[in-house]
Structure 1
Amino acid sequence: MRKITAGLFISLDGVVENPQDWHFPYFNDEMGQAVDAQMSSADTLLLGRRTYDSFASAWPDREKAGAEDAAFAKKLGDARKIVVSTRELEFTWRNSEQLQGDLIEAVTALKAEPSTADIAMSGSVSLVRRLLAAGLLDELHLLVHPIAVGEGMRLFEDADAPLPLKLISSVTFATGVVHLVYRLDDGAPTGDYAKAKASLPQTAD
């Protein structure tokens, strides 16, 4: 079964919208390596239309320019790119196609393909939410920036129910960014205050 990983830039107050407006001051070699590791472990990218349009308008030109980010741009160009949209799309970026049929059924079929490489996601917040809710997202890579943005769409806003997650790894960068990797937690703890109060400091009468 193929693994789906999703990478997101996120502020301390949970904002994931328009990271280009606030995250670049925190981008360093450590973050670059983390992003590259998540994306390079995949041979397929699963993207929402808006994220795809943003990528397609930038990365092909960066690959042609041959600057320091050209190698990463080529990786994205060479990868199979599957775009989720409710409208018919036309593509000019190589190796791009539209996801066909029901989202959950189609992504389940993608995960069952005979490949050992991951399926990577970047951004595509609404798609990340839907796959988390369906139990199809295997790893959530959050690059938590030490800044409160105040305005913008948040990753977990308007959730229908609690979403228990298990922390797999945590790395703090020199910039103060924390790279957190989570997966869904089927064995999340349960309890109430009656259970919790047993862990409170006890004082003698």
Structure 2
Amino acid sequence: MLDEYKTIVGIAESKLVVKKSRFFGLVTSVDTIQGSKRFIELVQEKYPNASHYCCAYSIGRDHEKREYATDDGEPRKSAGPPILTAVASSQLSNVICVVVRYYGGINLGVGGLIRAYGRCARECLASAKIETRIFYKTLQVQTPYEQIGAVLKLCGRLGGRVVNVEYDQRATAHLQIRQREIENFRENLRGINTDIDVIDPVTV
């Protein structure tokens, strides 16, 4: 199973003026819904008092993929969906695009809005720097103290990353495992000790 994906490095921006309405597009990479909310807040701080902050994001892959689009007060399906279409067409993952509009006093009509928001999003995405990253899944592993070293070694051998390790009655490690190695990781854990619990933390 492929667990690599292409996404955006940093923040890319675009600007468009249509009949005195000014549109500003901003796109970046996000891994969580909470991260997308923080980015929208940053955009609102950078462009205060705008008429609309329309956006769309695509996070995750396959059955865990989450997509969202909002018109933020514009006519229904005139802003968010064309932005989401641009994101989907880019074939990038874990991406959010926000298009800010300052109303210029002239109505653009639904068709004009669809074209403007879509174009601003496409130009923003086209200007972005792209890199390849890896999909990881975060697992919580609880194990007897004497086995934690073997668990961490296994994580590293499979290309995973250690987020943190806590020690209480048992050792609890939060590990990021490559998507394609999840089943292999679980099978190897059973070989280390049957008294190891694996929990998939819920992240939003």
With normalisation by structure 2, the TM-score equals 0.24
Looking at both structures, which has the greater relative contact order when contacts are Cα pairs under 8 Å and sequence separation is at least 6?
A: 1
Find the structure with the greater CA-based Rg: 2
Q: Indicate the structure with greater strand content.
A: 2
